[in-house]
Amino acid sequence: MKKNSISPKVFVIGTTASNLFLFRKDFILSFINKGYQVYALVSEYDDYWIKKIQKLGAEVITYQLSRSGLNPFKDLKSMVELKRYINQYNPDIVFSFFTKPVIYGSLAARLSGVPNVIGMIEGLGSPFTEHPSGQTLKMKLIKFIQVSLYRIAFPFLDKIIFLNKDDPIDLVEKNKIFTTKDAVKVLGPIGLSLKDYPYKAWDDSKSVSFIFVARLLAEKGIYEYLEAAKLVKLKYPKTIFKVIGGLDLENPYGLSQSELDKLIASKLIEYLGYVNNVSEHIADSAVFVLPSYYREGVPRSTQEAMAIGRPVITTDVPGCRDTVIDGVNGFLIPKWDVNALVEKMCFFIENPDQINIMGKESYKIACEKFDVHKVNKKLFEIMEIED
């Protein structure tokens, strides 16, 4: 796509303002540096994050959207509101992230005649997550509705961008969703600014410690992590297990407050809560662990840990498997397999020299695959936007 003589406009449609700033800052700046006027559309926000986005040089537009709501009339109202803004500002590109913005933002854009409509699917999320006990009836219904809406929206997108190669197979191919020719693309990880996560060798004079960074949900592997911690401590009682992440009390698969209180009291884990300096805590830990079976895109926290130079133990599932070369920068284990997790944890305790050896490999992979500037260059090539 060639730029017009006047400054072209792009709508970046997301949900939470904090997420848009934290994970899309460099993407927005790339557009601005190419001479685009960027409009950032957010549905959950406060003044702090709106000002952060505005300081980048983007204009912020707020709109109404219920991320998890199932009311179709409210969703259609959101689409009408987005269409009104699109008609008002007449953007050259509409780029949407996450399920509902991709569906309703893209439909609104096509109805308004926007020449370039792009959506990014960052993982398939809970509707496609397989639990040991199976999915609830409600989640099966949500999956059916979501796939049905994708069937409506996808044919109208010029580009549908996924972060791993498994997601387009499980969503588009298996459900026989029609897309235009060459619309489906795989980007890989969305990347991060490596300068914000500087490499730091592990101090091997310290006791080996493991760190888990995620919401405290079953699908993120918190229960496997805790069970493994109990078993490892029986053999190596000095081992430290850290947990960073908040509770999600509305999620039926989440850790409860009472469960967390008991864990803290038992001293099984060091619970650090929700922190703003995650990188410092990762750098102060030996091994990063994410036993997730959630349908990730490519986990951001794992990318951060690898950039800092930490080996990773994670599951051999879509998204997670895109971060680890088994036996090189860490280990891939089967989902739900606590014994396999214990085995790999004990490997690092018994072979502490491997922490920095594998950690260095993580850093090399991060430099090659996760550098946000390389990722954005590839993303603009997919969008066919010229320099």
Q: Is the pLDDT of residue 293 over 80?
A: yes
Please compute the mean of the pLDDT values over residues 27-46 and round it to a whole number. 96
Write down the pLDDT at residue 387: 59
Question: Domains of the chain, with CATH numbers?
Answer: 9-191+372-382 (3.40.50.2000), 194-369 (3.40.50.2000)
What distance, in Å, lies between the first and last C-alpha atoms of the chain?
10
How far apart CA 269 and CA 277 sit, in angstroms, is 19
Q: Is the pTM of this model over 0.85?
A: yes
pLDDT band at 273 (very low <50, low <70, confident <90, very high): confident
Are 41 and 51 contacting, i.e. CB atoms less than 8 angstroms apart? no
Write down the pLDDT at residue 3: 45
Q: Is the pLDDT of residue 208 over 50?
A: yes
Q: Is the pLDDT of residue 1 over 50?
A: no
The overall average pLDDT reported for the chain is 94
49, 98, 377 from 22: Cα distances, Å: 9, 15, 19
Q: Is the pLDDT of residue 247 over 90?
A: no
How far apart CA 362 and CA 309 sit, in angstroms, is 6
How far apart CA 344 and CA 97 sit, in angstroms, is 35
User: What pLDDT, in 10s, does the model give residues 307-329?
Assistant: 999 999 999 999 999 999 999 99
Geometric angle at alpha carbon 378, from 377 and 380, rounded to 5° = 65
User: What pLDDT, in 10s, does the model give residues 50-76?
Assistant: 999 999 999 999 999 998 788 889 999
